[in-house]
Amino acid sequence: MDTVTSADGTEIAFERTGNGPPLVLVYGNSDVHEFWDDGSVRPALAEHHTVYTIERRGRGESGDATEYELEREAEDVAAVVDSIDEPVTLLGHSGGALYSLEAALRTDNLHALILYEPPIQADDHELDVEDAVVEMERLLADGENEQAIVLFQRDVAGITPEEIDDLRSSPIWQDMVDAAHALPRELQAISEYEFEAGRFADVTTPTLLLTGTESPQLYKDATVTVNDALPNGRTTSFEGEQHMAMHTAPDRFVDKVRTFSRGSS
């Protein structure tokens, strides 16, 4: 894996595959960079793109810092984007979509932006995660990393039991378990994030907001809220799918990503 140095001096690793226009992938909060290999999503995208898959701070070969703030994640994404010598399509899922959205304020090197259900608190929805964070920290202290991840996925992310079972049977599950220590701090930071629409009034990058028709209402409303704040955004849905369409409907997911990236030229 290659590395770049983020704004706070942390080394951020990324893996490059394929050929074509650059596409940067940012996964969510309980995952690792191989997340994009499930359903052969990354290989399929790499047939038409040079794919840069970020390993987020605190995981794998990426470094970390003593203090954690959500803004550092956005700076990490921007550092990878700025290291590429042509404008990129930036794709983020869940927490990774929020970091990618914030990164759009920190780089001028974007061709297109694709955000799949960023966990923005919208309308009457609140991310009341205090009890979940306390319980995850207890589980982690007892060495129960796997149970901490399942608690997050089930009770916070709204991932279905079937989707969790699919993840648990994947070859990257143990890597996800090993990275569970980062979950409480990330979840706490997201719960404290306040979305201010006016900050994004000048983000004119063509943006596609993705959502599932069966996703929790929080994600649906968040998608609409972000789309409304962006002057060049549009929304499309995965019929019959939820928060993990890249795994449950990989062909449709890849098609939407390819079509939008190509159409933004």
Q: Are 259 and 232 within 8 A, CB to CB? A: no
Closest among 147, 78, 138, 131 to 109, alpha carbons compared? 78
What integer pLDDT is reported at residue 157 of this predicted model?
78
Give the number of other CB atoms < 10 A from CB of residue 161.
10
Strand, coil or helix: what is 93?
strand
Q: Are 119 and 98 within 8 A, CB to CB? A: yes
Q: What CATH number is associated with residue 65? A: 3.40.50.1820
What integer pLDDT is reported at residue 168 of this predicted model?
87
Sheet holding 22-26, edge to edge: 2-5, 11-18, 50-55, 22-26, 88-93, 110-116, 207-212, 233-238
Q: Is residue 225 part of a domain?
A: yes
Q: Is residue 223 part of a domain?
A: yes
Query: What is the tally of structural domains in the chain?
Result: 1
What integer pLDDT is reported at residue 265 of this predicted model?
59
Rg, Å, the chain Cα set: 17
Q: For residue 101, what are the domain limits?
A: 2-124+195-263
Q: Is residue 74 part of a domain?
A: yes
Q: Is residue 140 part of a domain?
A: no
Q: Is residue 177 part of a domain?
A: no
> Who's near 196: CB < 8 A, 6+ residues apart?
none
DSSP secondary structure of 211-226: EETTS-HHHHHHHHHH
The end-to-end CA distance of the chain, in Å, is 29
Strand, coil or helix: what is 7?
coil
Q: Are 81 and 11 within 8 A, CB to CB? A: no
Per-residue pLDDT of the chain (265 residues; tens, 9 = 90+): 999 999 999 999 999 999 999 999 999 988 889 989 988 999 999 999 999 999 999 999 999 999 999 999 999 999 999 999 999 999 999 999 999 999 999 999 999 999 999 999 887 767 778 888 999 999 999 999 999 999 988 888 777 888 888 888 888 888 889 889 999 999 999 999 999 999 999 999 999 999 999 998 889 999 999 999 999 999 999 999 999 899 899 999 999 999 999 987 5
Cβ-in-10-Å burial (0-12, 13-18, 19+) of 78 comes to buried
